[in-house]
Structure 1
Amino acid sequence: MSATAPRRWFVAGDLNGFFGLVVDNLSILGFIAAALIGIFGFPAEVVYTRMFPGTAFGVLVGNLIYTAMARRLAARSGRDDVTAMPLGLDAPTSIGMALLVLGPAFVAYKQQGLDEQAAAIATWHLGMASLVVMGVLKFVLSFAGDAVTRLIPRAGLLGSIAGVALVLMGFLPLVETLRSPLVGFVTLGLLLYVLIAKGRLPVRLPGVFVAFVFGTVLYYGLGALGLGAPGFHWPQAVPLSIVLPWPNLGFVEGLPATVPYLPLLLPFGLLMVVGGINVSESARAAGDDYRTRDILLAEAFSTLVAGVCGGVAQTTPYIGQPAYKHMGARSGYTLLTGLFVGLGGILGIVSGLVQWLPLAVLAPIIVYVALDITTQAFQATPSKHATAMVFGFLPSVAYMLAIKTGNPGWIAPEHHAQLMSALDGHGLPELAVIVTLGNGFIMTSMIWTSAVAAMVDGRLRRAAAFLLAGAALSLFGIIHSVHPQGGVYLPWALEGLQRTIAWQFIGAYLGLAALLLLLSFQRDPVPAPPPA
């Protein structure tokens, strides 16, 4: 086909791509709703009529840009097999926003005396502001993405999110899956069959779509027969209406509230930049040479648009561009997905669909995503760094324990006497250590993994530099915060046991950094591995 010949907007493969991309986005929206409403008791009306329209609008904007980029590349190259970059809601950070930012913030606002509706609106504004913060970060880093990937090893970048995936995205949704064991476990098994075992189904439909439909029918069928899990009830549908995601200044009100969550938000944004670089390389290897900076800028712009318009989950280009290419998809599938999700969010269609997807059916796909992210992290990093990555999982475990104990304030001043009475002669109080280790866990994981990977490579001074960075971040509570809610602070403002814990952690980083610097003066401190 010549470069000047008109190109079709849709081909047969675009339908397969559309189903796959829409299901991905609906599953993430569904889990956000299920987590906020089902786990934290968030008002459904705020989720469906305030959060979702702006979130879906970001997906529309991003997919329209990527569709235009694909058609421009096709025209420039004279090829008719160019596949658009798929864009949607990022699973790890969207789930992280629901479980680690929005849900806990809603509970905290209620504890401060706000009524449910006021707490929900304040949380919504926090979500908007969080997206704006991540969007600005992604915009800035779009011009320095390669430098970021040179500074932090792949093990540090992928290992930190793999820890979140396995411990928080894997375990917590698995618990929700097994709260309705028959439906949840069967749905999870079917997903593993079609996605991991690559098993065949008797119908020619996308496997994830079939699993969703099968699980939903099973859930409501068992419930209608009285055989559902205890507590089964039919959904109380929220009356839906057309909601236009007009830009508003709610994010300005939420900006001050983002400060305690910066140790989560900044790594979330950073990982999306690195992910954008990786997917651009993946698409280039598949034959579609997109400019990396354009991919990153489009991603940052769609996230900013979503945040300003009321969204609470950031967009990202998906890693599966070659898979969509193999399906025969071109540029029509991203256009269809953007229109369906974006207009569906405005018209209430998406919210209507999501309301009928039970948590026992949504949670299994999140478990699968967690397994896939963890597996990819090991496959995409050198095998010699595997132990470093596993070491980086441990701060995520600490954060999960802090969530489950329900004691994020254990190191608050009012608990000083209780904590001191818990001293057993072996050091700091155990629960205080768990909370401190869990605060800023993603950045902690990135530093730990990067430092150990540098040790493995024999670059001890580089490892010491990572540890010194950890000490600096600990100094202000960006990691290992001793603030009851994990917030940042000025070190001289700390008193009592909080000051003691903070300086103990800072000293630990400084001590190990000094030791590694001394060891670096040896000749060949880490011997080269024997030839294979």
Structure 2
Amino acid sequence: MNPSASSFPRRWFVAGDLNGFFGLVVDNLSILGFIAMALVGMFQFPAEVVFGRMFPGTALGVLVGNLMYTLMARRLAAQTGRDDVTAMPLGLDAPTSIGMALLVLGPAFVAFKAQGLDPHAAAIATWQLGMASLVIMGVLKTVLSFFGEAVTRALPRAALLGSIAGIAIVLMGFLPLLETLRSPVVGFVTLGLLLYVLIAKGRLPVRAPGVLVAFAFGTLLYYGLGLTGLGAPGFKVPQWTPPQVVLPWPSLGFIEGLPTAMTYLPLLLPFGLLMVVGGINVSESARAAGDDYRTRDILLVEAFATLVAGLCGGVAQTTPYIGQPAYKHMGARSGYTLLTGLFIGIGGMLGVISGLVQWLPLAVLAPIIVYVAIDITTQAFQATPRAHAGAMVLGFLPSVAYLLAIKAPGWIAPEQLAAMTTTLDGHGLPELAVIFTLGNGFIITAMLWIATVVAMIDGQLRRGAVLMLIAAGLTLFGLIHSVDPRGGIYLPWMLEGLPKIISWQFAGAYVALALMLGLLSLQRRPTGQ
């Protein structure tokens, strides 16, 4: 043991922890706010279910994870005899939390209502689906914690980051941008302020976290313009849902949601995989900054916190944040994660978080998500070899198809929609059917497309052929390019009619490309290559 390890005073809080606390809390509040915005504002979800059932369990996951990371930091400080160890920051993952709201929970709620359930019953069924989704991702992350590095070797970084960047720029960027511009003055000013402080690194006349200033200024502007009649049409003071004390005890409610959750596996599995890869990356980042945490421990805490949240009613998974070195530069140590965990966790149980989130307008919350989308996409390009950039751009296109699939039912009458997906016009498969098919399983599709093009770029044509054969197999079972309107999986011999034709055509396309790549790999390489 280091002789000084037990002798130096290990304080629970230092001045820098306050800066770290504000930064980490605002990140978590913005994500919780967007979940509420998407479900209540966009999908007309009953607010009492979001605030009284979903938020307490979700907040508990943040509490558990941050407490464990705080203890890990203090243990590392004791082992090394250092007083500058910074805890790993943990919070709700922006891409997958927003993805859960926009791609899983919201559409599922609409589908449950279409089946004849009243809004409250549909909301409860959706909540149980969210719990089941978190349990599935928690189990997956627990298993992959022991094989995470092997996963990162199997898929190139461009495939992992590019697939999430597609979600970011197409879905997380565009959909919240629409909400931003529905109140143009407030939304655009808030977005501009965020871009000034976060991308341009501009200085503010007040010494306070830039995101906090943007939230406060945007909220004051929204209510100021609205109350004087100068705001966007439709301004109204939010309907107040009284805070309630909810203790998120473990329950078996997730079991009811498992059957529906299985139809969302093509989305849930990549979500869990990306968090494992992200955990490995942040562990390396912290190690480079001087704090040598064991990668497996970081991943297991992340998985455990997600499982706890799912079992206790949560609907958004936790993850270690990439900015550990940034918090270290702020002077934060281990107190900021303790404060954040207690504030979010206890505040979520007492209804304080729900009360704060209710008064944050959509036009103020949406711009931070637009910024997050820009940041994720930028990081994806910065963290991958320049030669692989074209491959990543290709991986954005399935996300575009999913965006159109989300919006099409609201733009086109049901009878016309059915006709447009089943009528052959002599020019190949119906265009709208292709859009739906391409959008289903879009994250895994993007990973495979990007990985294949990367293999071409790197001269590994046989590897690319194998990836295309894997894509063909996944297509036949609906894990990608599902012809089920809900995007579910199935056995290929159960399909009939046009759905069977579409499935086999897509699978055949992958097999044909695999054969072509296999034949090209037989060429002799020019001398010197």
Aligned partner of 2:445 in structure 1 is 444
In 1, Cα distance between the equivalents of 2:251 and 2:140?
20
How far, CA to CA, are the matches of 1:13 and 1:467 in structure 2?
Answer: 50
> What is the Cα deviation at residue 62 of structure 1?
0.0
**Secondary structure of residue in 1 paired with 2:137:** helix
The TM-score, its normalising length taken from structure 1, stands at 0.97
Q: 2:434 maps to which residue?
A: 433
Aligned to 1:456: 457
Contact 1:519 1:525 in 2 (8 A): no
Counterpart Cα distance in 2 of 1:46 and 1:94: 17
Deviation at 1:415, TM superposition (A): 7.7
Pairing 1:41–2:44 present: yes
Structure 2 CA distance, aligned partners of 1:523 and 1:405? 48
Contact (CA 8 Å) 1:279, 1:317: kept in 2 or not?
A: yes
Indicate the percent of aligned positions where both proteins have the same amino acid. Answer: 78
Q: CA deviation at 1:404?
A: 1.1
3-state SS of paired residue (2:434): helix
The question of whether the paired residues in 2 share the 8 Å contact of 1:276 and 1:317 is answered with: yes
Contact 1:130–1:255 under 8 Å retained in 2: yes
Deviations 1:453-504, CA, capped at 9 Å, x for gaps:
0000000010111111101110100000000111100000000000000000
Q: Deviations over 1:226-264 (max 9, x none)?
A: 111111100111011110000011101111111111000
1:4 — aligned with what?
Answer: 6
Shift, 1:524, TM fit:
2.0
Deviation at 1:117, TM superposition (A): 0.6
Tell whether the 8 Å contact from 1:32 to 1:98 is kept in structure 2 after alignment. Answer: yes
Task: Give the structure 2 partner of residue 124 of structure 1.
Answer: 127
2:317 counterpart residue number: 314
Amino acid at match of 2:187: G
Counterpart amino acid of 1:512? L
C-alpha distance in structure 1 between counterparts of 2:417 and 2:348, whole Å: 46
Matched-pair contact (CA < 8 Å) for 2:420–2:430: no
Describe the superposition over 1:315-346 as per-residue Cα deviations: whole angstroms up to 9, x where unpaired. Answer: 00000000000000000000000000000000
State the distance in 2 between where 1:53 and 1:185 align.
Answer: 32
Q: 1:411·1:482 contact (CA, 8 Å) conserved in 2?
A: no
The answer to whether the 8 A contact 1:248-1:309 is kept is yes
Give the stretch that moved more between structures: 3-12 or 210-219.
Answer: 3-12
* RMSD across aligned positions (CA): 1.7
**Structure 2 match to 1:281:** 284
Aligned to 1:171: 174
> For the Cα contact (< 8 Å) 2:45–2:109, is it kept in 1?
yes
Amino acid at match of 2:6: T
Shift of 1:2: 2.5
Q: 1:429 is aligned with what amino acid?
A: P
Cα–Cα, structure 1 residues 60 and 503, in superposed 2: closer, same or farther, change >3 Å? same
For 1:299, the equivalent position in structure 2 comes to: 302
Matches within 5 A, 1:204-283: 204-283=207-286
SS at match of 1:319: coil
CA distance in 2, matches of 1:452, 1:294: 34
Residue 319 of structure 2: SS of its match in structure 1?
strand
Preserved CA contact (<8 Å) 2:420 2:432: no
In the TM superposition, 1:35-434 aligns within 5 A as 35-406=38-409, 419=421, 421=423, 423-434=424-435
Q: Which residue number in structure 2 is paired with residue 522 of structure 1?
A: 523
Compared CA separation, residues 139 and 113, structure 1 to 2 (3 A): same
Q: 1:525 to 1:108 in 2, by over 3 A?
A: farther
CA distance in 1, matches of 2:448, 2:359: 41
**TM-score (normalizing by structure 2):** 0.97
**Structure 1 moving runs of 4+ over 4 Å:** 407-412, 414-420, 525-528
1:411·1:432 contact (CA, 8 Å) conserved in 2?
A: no
Q: Distance in 2 between matches of 1:165 and 1:415?
A: 27
CA contact (8 A) 2:159 2:446 kept: yes
- Seen in structure 2, the aligned counterparts of structure 1 residues 492 and 415 have a Cα distance that, compared at 3 Å, is farther
Q: Which residue of 1 aligns with 2:480?
A: 479
Q: How far 1:406 moved relative to its partner? A: 1.3
Q: Deviations over 1:145-189 (max 9, x none)?
A: 010000000000000000000000000000000000000000000
Question: Match of 1:88, SS?
Answer: strand
Distance 1:411 1:230 in 2: 29
SS of 2:263's equivalent in the other structure is helix
Equivalent residue in structure 1 for 2:27, among 24, 47, 68: 24
Distance in structure 1 (CA, Å) of the matches to 2:239 and 2:527: 62
Gaps of 5+ in 2: none
Deviation at 1:59, TM superposition (A): 0.1
Residue aligning to 1:491: 492
Q: Distance in 2 between matches of 1:226 and 1:308?
A: 45
Q: Counterparts of 2:528 and 2:211 in 1: how far apart (Å)? A: 48
Question: Take 1:197 and 1:527, find their aligned partners in 2: how far apart are those partners?
Answer: 45
Q: Distance in 2 between matches of 1:150 and 1:524?
A: 25
Instruction: Say whether the 8 Å CA contact 1:135–1:303 is kept in structure 2.
Output: yes
2:468 alignment counterpart = 467
CA distance in 1, matches of 2:354, 2:348: 7
Pick closer, same or farther for the CA change 1:67–1:418 going to 2, 3 Å: closer
Change (3 A) 1:404 1:526: farther
Distance in 2 between residues matched to 1:10 and 1:347, nearest whole Å: 24
Q: Counterpart of 1:301 in structure 2: which amino acid?
A: F
Distance, in Å, in 2 between the alignment partners of 1:146 and 1:496 is: 43
Shift in Å, 1:282: 0.2
Say if 1:411 and 1:498, in contact at 8 Å, map to a contact too. no
1:169 and 1:370 in contact (8 A); partners too: yes
Q: Alignment partner of 2:91: what SS?
A: strand
Superposition deviation, residue 424 in structure 1: 3.1
| Structure 2 residue matching 1:287: 3-state secondary structure | coil
The size of the alignment, in residue pairs, is 526
